[in-house]
Structure formats: C-alpha cells, structure tokens
Amino acid sequence: MSTAKAFAAPSATDALAAANIERREVGPNDIEIDIEYCGVCHSDLHTARNEWDVVPTVYPCVPGHEIVGRVSKVGNKVTNFREGDLAAVGCLVGSCRECASCKDGLEQYCDNNAGVFTYNSPDPHGTAPVTYGGYSERIVVDQHFVLNVPKNLDPAGTAPLLCAGITLYSPLKHWKAGPGKKVGIVGLGGLGHMGVKFSHAFGAETALFTRSDSKVADAKKLGADHVIISKDEAQMEAHTRSFDLIISTVAASHDINPYISLLKRDGTMVLVGIPEHPHKPISVFNIAFPRRSLAGSGIGGIKETQEMLNYCGEHNITSDIEMIPIQKINEAYSRMLEGDVKYRFVIDMKSLKQ
Ligand code: NAP
Ligand code: ZN
Ligand code: ZN
C-alpha cells in the first residue's frame, strides 16, 4: 500500500479538508493513474452530506468520479495502456463481470449487485472500508474500468464526460434521440448542459427547461432550439403533447407532473437526477392517458462510456468548465446548490500538492 494525499469529508456536516488515504499496490491487471483533473458532480455533494438513505455514506468520504490523469504504473497483464498515457476513470471501478448485465457491458446494473463504484462502495480489495474517489493525487484501477481519452480533446473539459456526459448520452441513445424526435432536457447544470449538447449533436429537436431567465442565451449557444422557463405556465402549455422524450436532471425534489403532460402518446419521461427527497406524487391518470412511460437511467457501462468518449473526440465535444483549486471545493458545493456554475467545476489536482 502507499499513502496518497486527498480531500475528504470527515462527516455529513463538516467541510471537506485535506486527508491522507491508502492506495493498493498495483496488481497484474491494475493501472495506477496520477490524477490531473477531477470534475465535481452533484452526486459528490449528495454523498459527502449523506443525503441518499439507500447508500449511507461511510466516513471519511473522498468523492470524485470524473477522473482524467496520466498512467504512472501498469501491472504485467495490462495490455491497453502504457506509462505516460492519458487515461480516464468514471463512476465504476469493479463489477462481477459474469452476470447477464455485466456481459452486456452494463456493469452499472450488475445483477449480482457487485458493481463497485469509484467512491463509497465497500472496497473489495480491503485497502480501506470503502473505495475512495478522485479528489486525490492518484488511484489504482483494474484495466477493464480505465478509459482511453481521444487525443484532440482538452483533458480538463473531458473529465465531466465520465459522469455528466455518459449519464445523458446513454438514455439519449437508449430512447433513440435523433432526427424527427423532440427531446427535452430539464435543468441546465452539469448533466443538463451535456444533455443539450448530445441531443443537438444527435439531430433531435432539442428543448431546455430551466427555472432561470439568465440561462436562456447560454442554452441556445449549447444547441437548444427552444428554451422553456419552467415556472411560466403559458410557455409550458405551448408544448403540450409534443415531446418524444424528456430527461430530468434536477437535483432536488419537485413536481414532474407538468413535464409528463408535455409528452406525446407513447412518450417517455426519464429521471436521472436523484434528489435527497421523493418527488411530488405522480398522477397515474396522466401516465395512463395517453400511454406514457416513466423511466430512470443510471450512468452507462464501460463499453458505452468508451463509445461516448470516441464520439466526443470525433465531434469535438467537451464540457464547459470552471477550473478550481481543491481548496475551493466547499465554496464550489455552495455555488452548485445555488445553480451558480457554468456548467461544471473541475478541480485542477496540481493544487493538492500545494
Ligand atoms: P447540478 O449541476 O447542480 O444541476 C442540477 C440542475 O437542476 C440545476 O442546474 C438546476 O437547473 C436544476 N435544479 C436544481 N434545484 C432545482 C429545484 N429545486 N427545482 C427545479 N430545478 C432545480 O447537478 P448535476 O451534477 O447535473 O446532477 C444532477 C442530479 O443528477 C443530481 O441529483 C445527481 O446526483 C444526479 N446524477 C445522477 C446520475 C445517474 O446515473 N442517474 C449520474 C450523475 C448525477 P436550472 O437552474 O436550469 O433550473
Ligand atoms: Zn456523477
Ligand atoms: Zn455483474
């Protein structure tokens, strides 16, 4: 084992602060990565503050699952990476690899419930009680879960693709967003801005729903054909029964019934935002007539994450970011809660060495 510098939440109520963690020795199939950039996801905040009762947080908690860095060591069975290569790690670092979902490349839905998430999952290697994420100087990951970064992409802007990017790419692909389809994205934050970019790139007629007038111009620049202020009933009603697909990225509980009303017959509302508290009850009538679907989606498997990165390389897509030193992480969390980020914070991990 070796000691690495990190930033950790000591409890649900304490600010994140410098800490030391242990990383395992590099095994035959392992890749050690010196982390250069780590995106800041709203899930980091939910986890640091123990907001999800389904997955209670074990402290200290080291968040971070949008990781880009340089390979510093490889095990003797590693085939795809060499020392010095740029490499990325997202939300997953392990799974059973044998069940139907894992074999289908959908490790995030592992049927044996053996998916190991990058932070706050029981650590199968026993290095620590739980896995520790990317707010740290390095990480050791099995080669199956390490992704290639297209050379033309800015590494810092690539980091958020590893969660925010794939979390929108996957449902947009699954529900076939493309020419002739009308797609709505709810919330212009980290996930939402990637949703607008991908939906537009896939050729769908794209609408962005936001609470904020101040985001209208940006949403159009990102590729939205329509920007709908969600608290304006007239603007909402103008789009009644017109959407094939609406994806909500909202990080807080709210009323999703007004969005369901905007779906066509056979349209689908997909929830990817995972708030601390339940949404307002859903009108079953509104789902039954006219045969609408309510669905959810979680990140994406390793194969699809690589496909998404390659797509971004080909189409020159990265996240719009604001770079911060790790010492500003608590301020970044406060600003994220206020919706004050355009549109993803990325930590420059050099700052951890200061
Ligand atoms: P974020 O950057 O904070 O964006 C969330 C957006 O939601 C905000 O920008 C805001 O958009 C909107 N919003 C926030 N509070 C709201 C409220 N009270 N009512 C209505 N809208 C509100 O967060 P993120 O990193 O994109 O993550 C979003 C959610 O997705 C989080 O819950 C996160 O945990 C979850 N997540 C899920 C997955 C998955 O696999 N399913 C993966 C990653 C993240 P406007 O200001 O434009 O209204
Ligand atoms: Zn995330
Ligand atoms: Zn499995």
Pick the residue whose CA is nearest to atom 23 on ligand 1.
42
- Residue 57 banded pLDDT, cuts 50, 70, 90: very high
Residue 354 pLDDT: 83
Q: Pick the atom of ligand 1 nearest to 344's CA.
A: 2
Burial label, 342 (beta-carbon count in 10 A; 0-12, 13-18, 19+): middle
The predicted model scores a pTM of 0.98
**Cα 339 to middle of ligand 1, angstroms:** 9
Where are the domains positioned within the chain? 2-160+321-353, 164-296
**Cα 71 to middle of ligand 2, angstroms:** 22
Residue 259: HSE in the Cβ half-sphere, 13 Å Cα cutoff: 31
Q: Pick the atom of ligand 1 nearest to 298's CA.
A: 40
Q: Which residues contact 1 (CB under 8 A, 6 or more apart)?
A: 22, 23, 24, 25, 127
Asked if residue 254 has its Cβ within 6 Å of ligand 1, the reply is: yes
Domain 164-296: top CATH class: alpha beta
CA-based torsion, 16, 107, 195, 257: positive or negative: negative
Strand blocks (E) in the chain: 2-8, 17-23, 30-39, 67-74, 86-89, 92-94, 116-117, 138-142, 147-148, 182-186, 205-210, 226-229, 243-248, 263-271, 293-296, 321-325, 344-348
Residues 60-65, mean pLDDT to the nearest whole number: 98
Fold designation for 2-160+321-353 = Quinone Oxidoreductase; Chain A, domain 1 (3.90.180)
Residues 249-261, mean pLDDT to the nearest whole number: 97
Q: List pLDDT tens digits, range 68-110.
A: 999 999 999 999 999 999 999 999 999 999 999 999 999 999 9
Q: Is 325 in contact with 346 (CB distance < 8 Å)?
A: no
Residues 142-158, mean pLDDT to the nearest whole number: 98
**Cα 46 to middle of ligand 3, angstroms:** 25
Tokens standing for residue 299: 């990140």
- Residue 277 banded pLDDT, cuts 50, 70, 90: very high
Residue 5 pLDDT: 98
* Angle 195-52-292 from CA coordinates, rounded to 5°: 50
- Give the Cα separation of 121 and 171 in Å (integer): 24
Residues 271-280, mean pLDDT to the nearest whole number: 97
Residues 141-156, mean pLDDT to the nearest whole number: 98
Asked if residue 239 has its Cβ within 6 Å of ligand 1, the reply is: no
CB count within 10 Å of CB 289 equals: 10
**Cα 311 to middle of ligand 2, angstroms:** 20
**Cα 193 to middle of ligand 3, angstroms:** 31
Residue 297 pLDDT: 98
Q: Which residue among 108, 274, 280 has the greatest number of ligand 1 atoms within 8 angstroms of its CB, and so is best to mutate?
A: 274
- Give the Cα separation of 312 and 142 in Å (integer): 24
- Residue 213 banded pLDDT, cuts 50, 70, 90: very high
Asked if residue 336 has its Cβ within 6 Å of ligand 1, the reply is: yes
Instruction: Using alpha carbons, select from 288, 300, 39 the residue that is nearest to residue 159.
Output: 39
Q: End-to-end distance of the chain based on CA atoms, in angstroms?
A: 23
Asked if residue 138 has its Cβ within 6 Å of ligand 1, the reply is: no
Q: Is 175 in contact with 270 (CB distance < 8 Å)?
A: yes
Alpha-helical regions (H) of 114-154:
none
Q: Which residue among 38, 40, 41, 49 has the greatest number of ligand 1 atoms within 8 angstroms of its CB, and so is best to mutate?
A: 41
Q: Pick the atom of ligand 1 nearest to 208's CA.
A: 47
Q: Pick the atom of ligand 1 nearest to 337's CA.
A: 3
Q: Which residue among 250, 299, 321 has the greatest number of ligand 1 atoms within 8 angstroms of its CB, and so is best to mutate?
A: 250
Tokens standing for residue 162: 């590893």
User: Of the bound ligands, which one is closest to the alpha carbon of residue 49?
Assistant: 1
- Give the Cα separation of 312 and 153 in Å (integer): 8
Q: Pick the atom of ligand 1 nearest to 339's CA.
A: 9
Asked if residue 140 has its Cβ within 6 Å of ligand 1, the reply is: no
- Give the Cα separation of 338 and 221 in Å (integer): 22
Q: Which residues contact 217 (CB under 8 A, 6 or more apart)?
A: none
- Give the Cα separation of 227 and 209 in Å (integer): 6
Domains 2-160+321-353 and 164-296 agree in fold: no
**Cα 102 to middle of ligand 3, angstroms:** 4
